[in-house]
Structure formats: structure tokens, C-alpha cells
A and B are shown apart, each in its own frame.
Chain A
Amino acid sequence: MLKYLLKRFFWMIPLLVGISLISFFIMHLAPGDITTSEASFNPKASEESRQKLRELYSLDKPVIVQYGLWLKRMATLDFGTSFASHQRPVFWQTKDKDGTVTLGMIQEALPITLLINVLSLILIIAVALPLGVISALKQNQLADRSITLFVFIGFAIPGFWLALMLMYWTGVQHNWLPISGLESIGHENMPWLSQMIDSLKHLILPVFISALTGLAGISLFVRNGMLEVLHQDYITTARSKGLNENRVVYGHALRNALLPLITIFGLSIPGLIGGSVIAESIFAIPGMGKLFYDAVLMRDFPVIMGILTIGAILTLIGNLLADIAYAWADPRVRRGVMQ
């Protein structure tokens, strides 16, 4: 197991190098260089801030030196300070001479996005798993047909449109749910229980919207996985030795059908993180997605590059965790039989 983990861990290094190359390439995409007026819509991009940008990425040095410095920034996770938000550090807090701590922008936004994504994953598991199993057991019956219809619509519905409609329906028309932000006015003065309920109410719509594609995808995946497993020989064996149907379905079939799901969850992480842009900017939630969107609008390059890198690192960590979980769940993987 240890050997597998080590191998898997070192595997991330070439990927990180690749990510650094791609982000470096993006940095140099703009016509001329990123400091030309063509690329900076931001009226605040004065000559002074362009000069700062040139300094930040050492744009007057040879390309190879620039890349080396960028690599160093990535390795130390030091993405400099924001252009738009009063020089705030992009990633982590800094302390100045007087001892005042300025929180990093990603440092503040990341936990919110992680919370929404974890809640979305829980929602996906809680809803899509039973739907997939029911669909497979009732193959081609009414329940299966309805679930399949739901899956197709879930894949096709634009999340931002559904978000808009739900916002209008639950927030504006009926006033059931708050439509923006994470806290109501006066949140700080509420007793803790009301605070919890208040936050949860704010999270319901964003979590549902982020989970939408996953709900459809995982339902379909569990359904197909179950159908595949139910035709295997060992299921026939289990049935012929007289196990009751529940044992067969939940003890034997489901467990095997769920294994690949671990990998699918790992693979769905970039989609979830990237998808946070739409959900968060619609519901005005101060997470990574909103931060990124605002940075793109302001052409706040240090923030853009920082989030791009952190997003990729999160994906790598997610995939690593998924692989470890898979190796833990499936002895064939950790013994190196299935590579």
C-alpha cells in the first residue's frame, strides 16, 4: 500500500510542472504582453499598475527567467497582491511591520467553496444513489423511465437559468428563501441555532444548483453500473446459494457497482470547482468562483493566476484522495493487479 501511495504521490510532480507551463502560457496569451492597453479593460490599469505587473512577473527578463520565477511563485504559493482590492495578498495572510494581519483573498474564499462542494457531494450521494439503484431494479418500468427523463433534463438544463427561475420563484414570489449572500442582515446578533438555520437557508439553492449535473450523472452511472453487475456470474452464484434478494442487491451488487463511483467523484471535482463560478456569482456568495469572476471582470491578473493554480492543485488533491480511497476499498488495486 505504501509503495502504491508513494508512486501515486510522485506522479503529481510532472502534472504540476505541466500545469505551471499551461498557466505560464496563458499569462503570455494577450497581444503584446499582459501590460498592453489592449488587454487591460480595467480603467484602474494605469501606467503605474502596468509597471507593477511588469515587476510582479518580471516581464522585462528573458522568458526562461520569467518561467523560473513563476515556478517559484507556484511552489511557494505566493501569488503577490491583488491589483483591484487594495493590495490584499492573493492567497494567504501577511503581517506588516505594525503587526496588522491582512487576510488572503483565496484564504477567505476557499472554505466557502469547499463547504458548498462538500454539501453538494453529500446531496448527490443521498439522492443519486437511491435513484440509480431503483432505476436499475425497475429497469424499463415507470420508475426507471421517470428517472431517466429526470437525468436527461438534468444534463440539458442550464444551471444559471434554473438558478434564476428558482431565485425568482422561491425568493421573489414567495419569499421562502433568501436569494443572495450567505448571511441575512443582523446575522451576528442571532442566537447560534438561528444563525445555523439562517446559513443553511442561504445555502439550499446554491448547493442544489452546484449538485445538479452531478445528480443526473451519478444517477445514470449507478443505474448502468448496477445493471452491469447484476448480470455477473457471482450474482447468479449468490442467488443460487439461496441468499435473499436484499442481500444480493445491497451486499453483493451495490458494493461492486459503487467502486468505480469513487473515481467518478474524483473526476467530477474540476467540474464542481469550475461550476462554482456560475452558482456563486448568481447568488452573490463570496467563494472562489465569485472571486474569480470578479477578478476576470477587473482584469485582476494576480488573482486570476492564483485561483487558476489553486483550482488545479485542488483537483490533483481530489484525484489523489479518490485513488487512495479506491486502493483502500479494492485490494486488487493496491496489490498492483489493476494498474
Chain B
Amino acid sequence: MKKVLNNPLALIGFIIIAGILLLALIAPLIAPYDPDAIDVKAILLSPTSQHWMGTDGLGRDVFSRMLYGARISLMVGFVAVGIATAIGIVLGAISGFYRGWVDTVIMRIVDVMLSIPTFFLILAVIAFLTPSIWNIMIVIGLTSWMGVTRLVRAEFLSLRSREFVLAAQTLGAKDARLIFTHLLPNSLTPIIVSSILGIASAVLVESGLSFLGLGVQAPQASWGNILTDGKEYIQFAWWLSLFPGLAILITVLGYNLLGDGLRDAYNPRSSQH
């Protein structure tokens, strides 16, 4: 952790993410208006001291909607990546630990999943189900576990032949003990790095889906669907497009900086470059 905080880029990333997390958590306390409250007398107002980020086509306060949208973005990121990481750890561990035909089968499934364009896969699944925040999180999770699986497998393969693991095995440690006390803890850093980078791309995918109208559904606010309104009113109301886009950009940048910084801090080879 100390190493991470010494890396200036990682520190910036950490501050960005912590800040957004805080804003999302205390959203009900600081939001000046009800994010779903329609006010016909305040349609498409430009930013003022009353409405910091203006109002949208239904007179809703954009700043309040942005705060609640942050909750959606963060939640989708965490849950989707949580699902992906859980699947990735289980399959990768089985693959790398037991090798043999199980490994072959799992790796072929990974190959198949990687050969279908992910965005098509997500959209196809959503076409058959109904778009909702829960479906989005599950679908993103179920279509993004392949990287983690490969990563965990590679870590396990290389750790398995290391002396401390062989020693533990020789001393009679059972498979479960080997996996949970020796292999997994030693693979944790790359898993965390890839999860953080995974959250960044999940946030992008969710906002893209919501922008296309296939993600989080109105009236629930998400940065992506605020932008959909922004597209409608782009000629009259720049604030509707500018703020959600910047919020996504800054959030994704924050996760990427934190993830990359973390990787550099724990991987002396990559920080030489």
C-alpha cells in the first residue's frame, strides 16, 4: 500500500476513486433536489447557482442525477467485476492446478468466448432478456471473466513448481490447503490489478449500453442515459452532454491510473521502463 501511495499516478487515481465513492455514498445527503422530481417550470435551464449543472428536458436537476448516477456506475462496476473475478479465480485455479484435460477444456471455452465480439454477445443476451440494472451487471460479469481465468491459470502454473509449494506438498498439504494458503494469496496482486482495470471497462460498457437505451432504464439515472437526453438536446443544452461524459472519463481514468500504478509498484520489471 505504501508503495502504491508513493507512485504519484496511482495516488491521483486513488484520490479520484475515493472521491467519487464518497460522493456516491452521501448522495442523498448532498443532492440538492430529488433526482427524479420533474419540474415543468425549470426545463433545460443552463447551469446557475441553483442548478449547478443545469436541468434536463423534464426539468430534473442534473447535478442530483449525476450523484445518483455515480451510484449506478460504481455498483455496476463492482458487481460485474465481482462476478467475473469469482468465475475467473475458480476456473483459472482449477485449470492451473489440475492441468490435464480439465485445463484443456476450460482453455477452449475461454477461446470460444473470446472469439465472439463481446459487445455483440452482451447486446444479444439483453435482447432476449429485459434490460435492467441487474441483468446488465450479470451479463457484463458473465462475458468478461476470460482474462482473469487466463491470468490466475498462468500464476498457478508458475507458482506450482516453486520450491515453497513443492515443500508444502511434500509435507503432505492437501490440494485445498495448497490452493487457498499458498497459491491464491501469492496470486492476489495481479488479480486485484486486473479487477481494478476490469471495473474501468465495465463502467464504459454500462454507460455505452445505457446511452443506447439498452442499459439502466429511465427514470433511474445513470451517466449513460443522461447522455442519451444530452444527444436529443445537444443544440440547446451542452451541459446535458458535457458533465456525464466528463464524469465517465474521470472515473475510468481514475481506475486505470490506480490499476497501472498498482501493477508498477509490485512489478519491478515494468517500472524500469
Contacts and interface: CB of A to CB of B under 8 A. Distances in A.
- Say what secondary structure dominates the interface of chain A: helix
Contacts, number: 156
B151 to A, nearest CB: 15
Contacts of B231: 164
A311 B120 contact: yes
Interface in A304-322: 304-305, 307-308, 311-312, 315-316, 319
A312 B118 CA distance: 10
A34 B128 contact: yes
B157 interface: no
Contacts of A304: 123-124, 127
Contacts of B112: 15, 18-19, 21-22
Q: Which of B109, B111, B117, B256 has the most CB of A within 10 A?
A: B117
Interface stretch (A72-80, A98-106, A122-130, A151-159): A151-159
A171 to B, nearest CB: 10
Given A153-B253, A158-B208, A316 B124 contact: no
B273 A273 contact: no
A281 interface: yes
Give the top 8 A-B pairs by smallest Cβ distance, nearest first: A274-B119, A18-B112, A161-B245, A274-B117, A156-B252, A156-B253, A270-B117, A296-B127
A139 interface: yes
Interface in A24-67: 26-27, 29-31, 34, 38-39, 41
- Say what secondary structure dominates the interface of chain B: helix
Interface of A: 14-15, 18-19, 21-23, 26-27, 29-31, 34, 38-39, 41, 139, 152-153, 155-162, 164-165, 167-168, 172, 224, 227-228, 267, 270-271, 273-275, 277-278, 281, 292-293, 295-297, 299, 301, 304-305, 307-308, 311-312, 315-316, 319
Contacts of A152: 253, 256-257
A229 B128 CA distance: 48
Q: Which of A38, A139, A156, A157 has the most CB of B within 10 A?
A: A156
B249 interface: yes
Contact of B124 (A172, A308, A315): A308
11 contacts: A23-B124, A155-B256, A156-B250, A156-B252, A157-B249, A157-B252, A158-B208, A158-B211, A164-B230, A168-B238, A292-B120
